[in-house]
């Protein structure tokens, strides 16, 4: 049975995240302290206590989610003698989770990943003025339906002006997320039922992620990643935008820049990992969003999540 580790993206954060890990394990406390020091902020206090509105800010949520995931891994390594390079075949992460995956695989050190994610969150927030962009989740839609919907929504019917409506996430299991200018996404939500899409839900996000409106953020990340040290990962990373293995640091740098404006091809990532022999997927960190998606994308595989001390104990018993 080949094992893959996957790492969650934004939306999985919640006050209290990581608190029980920190209480139970010195190794987890060390991770949270390293991240706090790298960011010169007591991010761990925000994770453990909230408030939710502040934790949900993109610049906080991104490094917080990475910290929780890496705290789980650090505990597995110290308490269970777990060797990622020896036991895990592939790693992948959803959007910001790709940074968690790369850090788990030693391509980034922990302080570098924390600082990059803080910058990434701030750059994404700055890329568009508040209220200009929007995102929506399409439920009961396949990729072709979502692409047709975006194509129909891109033109302002009154002025004929072209606006942005693009695929942000192809999550699989009938879930596609679209992103772009608010007017175009509003038109898409209104038109979705008439195009055979079961449900279209506007998402409570602060910016239109993973679309061309994020170009200024991609430029900022290109500069930051050029300065960052990236090592060859000890386990191949399946990248969001290519749905293929990446091990070369120069390629990883390019893929992370492309990811800011590109589609997160999560359905294709899971299919690729399954095709490469992975039949056990374990989600490390906050929530169980990816575990739920896994049951729809790779029903023949086993899927579980590790986020707290009881999960860690249960997982180590299976090895």
Which residues are known to be catalytic?
A: 95, 210
Ordered strands of the 278-284 beta sheet: 245-246, 237-238, 88-93, 2-7, 278-284, 302-306
Instruction: In whole angstroms, give the CA distance from residue 234 to residue 80.
Output: 19
Q: Which two tokens stand for residue 250?
A: 């120069």
Task: Enter the DSSP assignment of 119.
Answer: H
Number of residues that this document lists for the chain:
319
Of 207, 183, 186, 189, residue with least CA distance to 146:
189
Q: How far is CA 274 from CA 4, 91, 235, 279, 299, in A?
A: 9, 12, 16, 6, 10
Instruction: In whole angstroms, give the CA distance from residue 319 to residue 298.
Output: 22
For residue 160, the tally of other CB atoms under 10 A from its CB is 7
- CB-based burial label for 21 (10 Å; 0-12, 13-18, 19+): buried
Instruction: In whole angstroms, give the CA distance from residue 32 to residue 81.
Output: 20
């Amino acid at each position: 049975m080949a094992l893959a580790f996957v790492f969650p993206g934004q939306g999985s954060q919640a006050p209290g995240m990581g608190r029980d890990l920190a209480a139970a394990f010195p190794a987890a406390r060390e991770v949270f302290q390293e991240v706090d020091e790298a960011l010169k902020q007591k991010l761990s206090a925000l994770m453990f206590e909230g408030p939710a509105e502040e934790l949900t800010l993109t610049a906080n949520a991104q490094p917080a989610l990475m910290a929780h995931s890496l705290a789980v891994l650090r505990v597995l390594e110290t308490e269970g003698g777990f060797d990622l390079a020896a036991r895990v075949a592939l790693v992948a992460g959803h959007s910001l989770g790709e940074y968690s995956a790369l850090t788990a695989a030693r391509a980034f050190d922990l302080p570098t990943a924390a600082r990059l994610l803080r910058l990434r969150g701030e750059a994404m927030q700055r890329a568009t003025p508040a209220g200009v962009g929007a995102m929506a989740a399409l439920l009961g839609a396949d990729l072709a339906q979502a692409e047709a919907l975006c194509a129909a929504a891109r033109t302002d019917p009154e002025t004929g002006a072209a606006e942005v409506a693009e695929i942000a996430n192809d999550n699989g299991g009938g879930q596609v997320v679209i992103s772009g200018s608010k007017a175009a996404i509003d038109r898409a939500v209104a038109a979705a039922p008439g195009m055979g899409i079961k449900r279209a839900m506007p998402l409570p996000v602060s910016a239109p992620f993973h679309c061309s409106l994020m170009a200024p953020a991609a430029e900022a990340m290109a500069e930051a990643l050029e300065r960052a040290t990236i090592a060859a990962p000890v386990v191949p990373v399946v990248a969001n935008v290519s749905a293929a293995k990446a091990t070369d640091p120069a390629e990883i740098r390019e893929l992370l820049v492309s990811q800011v404006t590109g589609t997160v091809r999560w359905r294709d990532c899971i299919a690729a990992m399954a095709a490469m022999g992975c039949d056990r997927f374990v989600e490390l960190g906050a929530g169980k969003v990816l575990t739920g998606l896994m049951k729809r994308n790779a029903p023949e595989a086993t899927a579980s999540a590790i986020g707290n001390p009881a999960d860690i104990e249960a997982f180590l018993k299976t090895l």
